[in-house]
Amino acid sequence: GDSVTQMEGPVTLSEEAFLTINCTYTATGYPSLFWYVQYPGEGLQLLLKATKADDKGSNKGFEATYRKETTSFHLEKGSVQVSDSAVYFCALSGSARQLTFGSGTQLTVLP
């Protein structure tokens, strides 16, 4: 079945550091890929998405490229801010017609 493997956290960075959170997936066919973010006490917010190979999703300085050859969708940001501290979830929508989530990565950015 579909599965998502996400870089384990927690990740602690200093402000303005470069961020990478790794995400790889297993799915049949051509899934759509997503990154969601969850701030403390809140639900999930869609950060970005990509629906086909080589697509690049981007939002608020975050980027991720759909790499079918490596089955990956790594999240990157060139310069993180304290306000980016949250839990980040990689997810896919595939043949099962539901969102399958990774385990989440807690990011803490220190001033």
Partner 1 sequence: KAGVTQTPRYLIKTRGQQVTLSCSPISGHRSVSWYQQTPGQGLQFLFEYFSETQRNKGNFPGRFSGRQFSNSRSEMNVSTLELGDSALYLCASSARQGFNYGYTFGSGTRLTVV
* List of residues contacting partner 1 (CB under 8 A): 32, 34, 36, 41-46, 49, 51, 89, 91, 93, 96-104
Cis before 111 (ω within 30): no
Tell me whether residue 12 or residue 103 sits nearer to partner 1 (CB atom): 103
Query: CA triplet 28, 34, 35: central angle to 5 degrees?
Result: 140
CB of 63 to partner 1, least distance (A): 17
**Per DSSP, what are the bridge partners of residue 3?**
26
Tell me whether residue 72 or residue 93 sits nearer to partner 1 (CB atom): 93
Tell me whether residue 19 or residue 36 sits nearer to partner 1 (CB atom): 36
